Amino acid sequence: MANSLPELRDALRRFADERDWDQFHAPKNLAIALSVEASELLEHFQWLPDESSHALPPEKLAEVRDEMADVLLYLVRLADKLDVDLFDAAQRKLRRNAEKYPVDKARGNSRKYTRL
């Protein structure tokens, strides 16, 4: 079992290699698949009242968990193909977001940074 993003990446490489799927894993195809899986995740929440989305029944939560895993797996595979360190990219993005959304202006506010 993988215990880190690099280990998960390597496990995905092996998984795809064993099935000769690397030929299908062009970044474009992985990005499309990622979008499809994200849409499948979203489908579980469509039309749910906000409060219901916080307390999913166990069987629904299991389905949501599987879709979340699919999104993560495709994202990790895409990052591997594009040689992107996801952990580093996420840290950089979080720092940029902190600059765009300073606490004193963004706290309790859902507006885009250009409208703060």
Question: Where in the chain do CATH 1.10.287.1080 domains reside?
Answer: 5-84
Q: Does 1 score more than 90 pLDDT?
A: no
Q: Is 74 exposed, middle or buried (0-12, 13-18, 19+ CB in 10 A)?
A: buried
pLDDT in tens, 21-73: 999 999 999 999 999 999 999 999 999 999 999 999 999 999 999 999 999 99
Q: Does 8 score more than 90 pLDDT?
A: yes
Tokens read off for 108: 């309790």
Residue 62 to residues 25, 41, 59, 69, 73, Cα–Cα distance (Å): 27, 11, 5, 11, 16
pLDDT in tens, 61-95: 999 999 999 999 999 999 999 999 999 999 999 99
Topology adopted by domain 5-84: Helix Hairpins (1.10.287)
User: What pLDDT, on the 0 to 100 scale, is given for residue 10?
Assistant: 97
User: What pLDDT, on the 0 to 100 scale, is given for residue 92?
Assistant: 98
Q: Does 6 score more than 90 pLDDT?
A: yes
User: What pLDDT, on the 0 to 100 scale, is given for residue 113?
Assistant: 86
User: What pLDDT, on the 0 to 100 scale, is given for residue 33?
Assistant: 98
pTM beyond 0.85: yes
Identify whether the C-beta of residue 44 lies closer than 8 Å to the C-beta of residue 64: yes
Provide the pLDDT confidence category of residue 3 given band limits of 50, 70 and 90.
very high
CA atoms of 77 and 30, how far apart (whole Å): 7
Backbone angles phi, psi at 22, to 5 degrees: -55, -30
